[in-house]
Structure 1
Amino acid sequence: MKLSNLVKSLGLASALVFSSLSFAADIGINANANDVAIHGYDPVSYFTMQKPTMGKSMYSATYKGAIYQFSSEENRDRFRANPAAYAPQFGGFCAMGVALNKKFDVDPTAWYIKGDKLYLNLNKAVQQKWMEDVPGNLKTAYRNWNGIEAVSADELADE
């Protein structure tokens, strides 16, 4: 299946509109207009509580130009001690989108942990597609990420 047909079949074409997104100081990070990553969800909670939990602005930490929020001081401190262990892969962009050579926003409730790494997806329908071939999608996404990490989502949308 051609890439453009796959994007359309997944319903991703509408995801190319990034007007509500800002890209933190590093365009390789998905953050909102206030530089908040993961829509304010606590990245540590995926690992410690096995579910996404909304963070609080009173518990925050900065990593790679984005602000991460946490549900507790303990989670914030865990993140600060080793942010690479908890931050989502691909700068918090949709993992399936990266496999398709694109940068899409995410739904923090469409998540998956594999090999102690957090992966997020655009929505649960895209996550289902991602789950059909996690090893293959990961291989493609990591290969693609090296080429698109420093490219803005808008530039990728034009391709």
Structure 2
Amino acid sequence: MKLTRFVMTAALLASLAFFNQGLDAKEKQKAKQAPVALDGNCAVCLVKGQKVVKGSAEHSVVYDGQTYLFPSEEVKNVFVANPAKYVPALNGDCSVCFAHHDGVRNPGKIDHVSFYQGRVFLFPNTQIKSVFDQSPQKYADVDLACDGKCIVCKIDGGKDVPGKPEFTAIYKGKRYQFPSETVMQKFQSNPAKYVGKKAGAQKTSSTTTPASQLVSIKGTTGCAACEYGVHPKKDPNTLGLAVKSGDGKIYVIEGAHDSHPSLYKKRFESLKVSVKGKQIAQQGKFVWLEPQFIEKLQ
């Protein structure tokens, strides 16, 4: 009996080891396909200490198509927690070249590095580096996409909404900013859906309009267009206030930008609210309400 248990345990451990080896092999293969960033030097060390410190392949992570190496697992985890803070501008390409040559991507070198506002900038030679150093503010934001406005809000909602630096995602070396973490995650789940596309006409679909009824709900606020891809019925040119209830339904609050402007401006902050209003339409999980009152909960 004991021998049987021993054999079964050994077989299980062997299977787990084989499975883990398979995962490690996939990660290593992924890293092989992605070029090594910063000549293998630590991105965190550059930003935090302005020091060139060699990383190790044992502590690596692939981000935005490049492999970043770190001297320890602890430093690697610092990067993973907020990679947008540590990646070099334009993924290490020259910001001056990008600005003066219509977006040409010319690789920089770790030997020609500048630091500005907590970010790392690389250049192909000393001469171009000196151009940046003389007027860094002129080139610091050439990698900022959409002038810092939310690309998701523009494509899905047709509106210009300012992003926030704390919600920054890097895609192909460019910085994209968003008004909330939810919208940023929506972009990160499918960046190709938004980059390179223009804001177009909204999708049309049939909507059922049930008999008017009073509805009372509690939930958290969000942006109807940016986060859920829907607009108010009566003001389709606005992005709209949405309230997500505990049962997963999304309530689009008609006219909130006029009736509750302060709450509307803070809709990205996931505020807890109570809403009572008349239901005017429904489509799947989406319900449109004409509000009678909206109360912010503690």
State the TM-score, normalized to the length of structure 1: 0.62
The alignment partner of 2:90 has SS state of: helix
| Matching of residues 136-151 of structure 1 within 5 Å | 136-139=138-141, 141-142=142-143
**Match in the other structure for 1:77:** 77
**Cα contact 1:52–1:109 (8 A) shared by 2:** no
Please, which of 134, 138, 151 is the counterpart of residue 132 of structure 1? 134
The number of aligned residues is: 115
**Cα contact 1:96–1:126 (8 A) shared by 2:** yes
Following TM superposition, by how much is the alpha carbon of 1:137 offset from its aligned partner in structure 2, in angstroms? 2.4
Structure with higher strand content: 2
Letter in 1 for 2:56: K
Larger RCO (CA under 8 A, 6+ residues apart): 1
Percent identity reads 23
Following TM superposition, by how much is the alpha carbon of 1:47 offset from its aligned partner in structure 2, in angstroms? 2.1
**Match in the other structure for 2:42:** 42
The alignment partner of 2:107 has SS state of: coil
Higher mean C-alpha displacement, 33-42 vs 51-60: 33-42
**Cα contact 1:99–1:142 (8 A) shared by 2:** no
Partners of 2:50 and 2:137 lie apart in 1 by 21
Following TM superposition, by how much is the alpha carbon of 1:63 offset from its aligned partner in structure 2, in angstroms? 0.7
Q: 1:33 to 1:126 in 2, by over 3 A?
A: farther
| Matching of residues 103-122 of structure 1 within 5 Å | 103-122=105-124
Letter in 1 for 2:61: A
**Match in the other structure for 1:27:** none
In structure 1, stretches of 5+ residues that fail to align are 1-31, 151-159
The alignment partner of 1:75 has SS state of: helix
Partners of 1:120 and 1:89 lie apart in 2 by 8
Following TM superposition, by how much is the alpha carbon of 1:110 offset from its aligned partner in structure 2, in angstroms? 1.6
